[in-house]
Amino acid sequence: MRIVEYPHPALRHVSKSIKRVDGELRDIVREMFEIMYEAKGVGLAANQVELPLRLFVCNVESDPAAKDLEQVFINPVIGERKGTAEAEEGCLSIPGFYAPVKRAERINVTAYNLSGQKFDGEIDDLYARVVQHETDHLDGILFTDRLSTTGTMEAREVLEEFEYKFQSARERNEISSDEAIKRRLAEFEAKYC
């Protein structure tokens, strides 16, 4: 398992709701945390590691020793949004690029953890930003889609570099075809969704 980078097709795939949790899924979650920490991230969505599942992990301190801050969100739904705050965001799938993004300051979110326990509550600040960013991933939305017009213009050159790098890797057969990626995602969906 590895983090895929823009413009990998899995990043635009709308994730499907998870209908069952088993030992393999728990292992996947454990590995996602390890990958997130290695990349110095605070959140990681399943489609960032080429899995079509409505699932993400987060730890707002990105500290593997702070196990009490580790959160698993299965089938998250964001409800009411309150206030607006702008802050710089980055993405493990677009490493090295950061830009200001406006998001709700406080949100209500409903999700399940690996034990099937429901979480339903209001969160704010960085935690709310991470949950919104990762939930966007599950809907095939990148933070660059939420930039201002100026931010979009500034991002264009960076994104074009990622597109060139992706195409070059594909030409070297390091990245599967879109059709092969879609088949793999569909197979995984059939197992869990």
* Residue tagged active-site, from 80, 122, 134, 187: 134
162: left (phi over 0), alpha (psi -120 to 50) or beta: alpha
Residue 90 CA to residue 80 CA, distance in Å, equals 24
Specify the pairing of strand 71-89 against strand 55-58: antiparallel
Q: Which two tokens stand for residue 100?
A: 């200001």
Is 134 catalytic? The answer is: yes
Residue 15 CA to residue 46 CA, distance in Å, equals 8
Residues serving a catalytic function are: 134
